[in-house]
């Protein structure tokens, strides 16, 4: 019997978590909380606006990862959110998964309250219950990882997000997943340069896949981005939006690191 991949392990405990959450807070009560949450901030629009003359940056608040362990010791979601906003990020991404990323749902609430930026709930979504939960926390966008869900599950998650007025990033890592993502309505296509089964990372994933993304979709390049040169390189392949976590999370001065990585966007003329 083969050893479960990292993604398979995450899915196993996540399904248990979902059942426990449903037992603690029934769906009806969670939906009431979602309806009472602060109004949705337009995630996709913020990215698009920022990417017209610059880059649309989704800056990630991430304490740890399965492959790297603890990333930042002095971890303060509110302070990090404020620093990202000051540095020019268009949106935030907040890890809410605890076992693998030392994330927490409260981190999202704290980060969103500290700034005006729209926020992505970065987690492994399998059930529409989690979408209502995301909205109850104030999330403006969810992530749908095609490597981890069936087409039917992806469609149900996307519909739930739309019903709550939220956006959804459809994340892909290969041509097959991209083809499946095209059947969904969301214009936001995240190309994850990190293989979630092995956690190996290569920007070649974005270089190869970007050319196949339909023109009416918005490419978000995720993982492995470390320098302004990396962003300019990938921008040549048609991506104007980026999700960056670890590089910025390790910086001593998060606001200036954010400013620095966004400082010299590749203009249309340079593509």
| Fold classification of 6-268 (topology level) | TIM Barrel (3.20.20)
Q: How many CB atoms sit inside 10 A of residue 175's CB?
A: 11
pLDDT digits (tens, 9 = 90+) for 150-159: 999 999 999 9
Give the pLDDT band of residue 269 (cuts 50, 70, 90). Answer: low
Beta strand extents in the chain (DSSP E only): 56-61, 64-65, 69-70, 91-95, 119-122, 141-145, 167-172, 188-192, 218-222, 241-244
Q: Identify whether the C-beta of residue 43 lies closer than 8 Å to the C-beta of residue 158.
A: no
**Residue among 149, 137, 144 nearest 162 (CA):** 144
pLDDT digits (tens, 9 = 90+) for 45-98: 999 999 999 999 999 999 998 888 999 999 999 999 999 999 999 999 999 999
Q: Identify whether the C-beta of residue 91 lies closer than 8 Å to the C-beta of residue 56.
A: yes
pLDDT the model gives residue 153 = 98
Cα separation, 95 vs 112, whole angstroms: 13
């Amino acid at each position: 019997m083969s050893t479960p991949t990292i993604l398979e392990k995450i899915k196993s405990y996540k399904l248990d978590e979902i059942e426990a959450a449903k037992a603690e807070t029934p769906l009806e009560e969670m939906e009431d909380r979602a309806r009472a949450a602060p109004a949705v901030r337009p995630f996709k629009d913020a990215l698009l606006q920022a990417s017209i003359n610059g880059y649309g940056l989704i800056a990630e608040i991430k304490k740890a990862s399965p492959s790297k362990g603890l990333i930042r010791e002095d971890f303060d979601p509110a302070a990090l959110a404020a620093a990202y906003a000051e540095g020019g990020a268009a949106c935030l991404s907040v890890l809410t998964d605890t076992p693998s990323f030392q994330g927490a749902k409260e981190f999202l609430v704290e980060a969103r309250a500290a700034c005006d930026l729209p926020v992505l709930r970065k987690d492994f979504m399998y059930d529409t219950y989690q979408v209502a939960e995301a909205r109850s926390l104030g999330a403006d966008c969810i992530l749908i990882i095609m490597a981890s869900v069936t087409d039917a599950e992806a469609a149900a998650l996307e519909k739930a997000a739309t019903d709550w007025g939220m956006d959804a990033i459809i994340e892909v890592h290969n041509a097959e997943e991209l083809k499946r993502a095209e059947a969904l309505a969301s214009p936001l296509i995240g190309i994850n340069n990190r293989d979630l089964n092995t956690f190996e990372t290569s920007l070649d994933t974005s270089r190869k896949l970007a050319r196949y993304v339909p023109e009416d979709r918005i490419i978000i390049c995720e993982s492995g981005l470390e320098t302004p040169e990396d962003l300019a390189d990938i921008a040549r392949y048609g991506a104007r939006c980026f999700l960056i976590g670890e590089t910025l999370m390790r910086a001593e001065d998060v606001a200036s690191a954010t400013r620095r990585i966004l400082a010299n966007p590749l203009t249309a003329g340079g593509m």
